[in-house]
């Protein structure tokens, strides 16, 4: 173990993400039943943001600040309060306030502190705004994506709550909550549509998702753990319900499953298809919203994740930090397409990224893909 001093931080992070996942499940069920049909907005870049995004950010911000002290906590997160603060968003803000307070009221059964009295709109906007750190090469920075894969969330598909801790440029804690990702590891094979060219890991039977899971790790441990989401009124006894997960041992490309993003806006499916063919991958790609792709690699459900963004797209650290550490500590390899480690020291973006990101269950597959990138790149349109 690199440093036992992160025990407290990991403990709090797992509990906070657990609470956030249950919050998201409740909101998603409402969205799917049209109860909250108007409870999301479009940001300036046209990407969606929902009650869950703001509520999770406020909840985790409040927990971290109360636990470690506002002056001692630096949080880098995706959402701001610009849209939520507008007069026309008053009803939306009211729902966020209600959602956050309902979630924080459950904190004691997760071993965390709850507010002495209900938080008001000003306090919740402050909690969201507190997540305005720019990160950087020095000090500790929490990195939060409150709902990674909001499009998947709105579609009733995959999404994740991602929380990581970076210390002096190194990711030292990674926690990934996957509310719609079943514990059973044979789910992917049994539920892939046999005739669909590019299957998507999606929500077809809401009842089967009831558990969901949380994966977490600490730098230098060589271990990644998974636990089911807690439902009902049970108290969380952590880590009693957790079990070790490990990457797949498959090395043959013909047997490997590879994941890629669903949306085409920030990835090039044509290039990854050509690259997969050159490497010898024979299975169709599994298209997955959010960092659930990293979870699939870490727990051995898939072997490869490839993402090659189109020109001009910049990767954000909150989309990768927690997932990268999980895969690495579970025995896998994650680099850019040039084989270099991802750099989390430059602020909110993964600056200097060489073409794309490749995560693999092992070094042999990783080396084959890196080699094929160089052979395929000249003919690409990226």
List residues forming the annotated binding site for Mg(2+). 78, 145, 148, 319
Distance CA 82, CA 204 (A): 35
Active centre residues (catalytic): 53, 150
């Amino acid at each position: 173990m690199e440093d036992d001093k992160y025990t407290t931080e990991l403990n709090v992070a797992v509990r906070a993400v657990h609470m956030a996942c249950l919050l998201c499940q409740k909101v998603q069920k409402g969205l799917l039943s049209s109860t909250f049909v108007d409870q999301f907005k479009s940001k300036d870049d046209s990407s969606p943001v929902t009650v869950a995004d703001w509520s999770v950010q406020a909840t985790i911000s409040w927990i971290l600040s109360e636990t470690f002290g506002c002056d001692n906590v630096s949080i880098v997160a995706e959402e701001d309060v610009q849209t939520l603060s507008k007069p026309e968003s008053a009803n939306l803000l009211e729902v966020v306030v209600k959602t956050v307070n309902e979630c924080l009221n459950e904190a004691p059964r997760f071993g965390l502190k709850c507010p002495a009295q209900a938080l008001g709109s000003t306090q919740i906007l402050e909690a969201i705004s507190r997540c305005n750190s720019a990160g950087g090469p020095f000090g500790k920075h929490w990195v939060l994506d409150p709902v990674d894969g909001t499009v998947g969330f709105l579609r009733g598909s995959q999404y994740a709550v991602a929380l990581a801790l970076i210390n002096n440029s190194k990711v030292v804690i990674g926690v990934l909550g996957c509310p719609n990702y079943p514990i059973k590891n044979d789910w992917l094979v049994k539920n892939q549509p046999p005739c669909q060219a590019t299957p998507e890991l999606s929500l077809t039977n809401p009842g089967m998702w009831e558990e969901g899971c949380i994966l977490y790790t600490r730098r230098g441990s060589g271990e990644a753990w998974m636990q089911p989401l807690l439902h009902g009124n049970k108290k969380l006894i952590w880590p009693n319900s957790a079990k070790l997960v490990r990457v797949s041992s498959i090395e043959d490309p013909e047997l490997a499953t590879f994941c890629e993003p669903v949306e085409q806006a920030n990835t090039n499916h044509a290039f990854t298809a050509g690259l997969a063919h050159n490497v010898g991958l024979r299975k169709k790609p599994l298209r997955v919203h959010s960092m659930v792709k990293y979870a699939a690699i870490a727990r051995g459900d898939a072997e490869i994740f490839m993402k090659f963004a189109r020109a001009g797209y910049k990767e954000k650290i909150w989309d990768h930090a927690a997932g990268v550490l999980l895969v690495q500590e579970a025995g896998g390899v994650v680099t850019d397409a040039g084989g270099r480690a991802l750099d989390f020291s430059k602020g909110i973006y993964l600056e200097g990224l060489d073409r794309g990101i490749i995560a693999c269950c092992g070094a042999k597959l990783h080396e084959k893909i890196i080699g094929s990138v160089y052979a395929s790149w000249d003919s690409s349109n990226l």
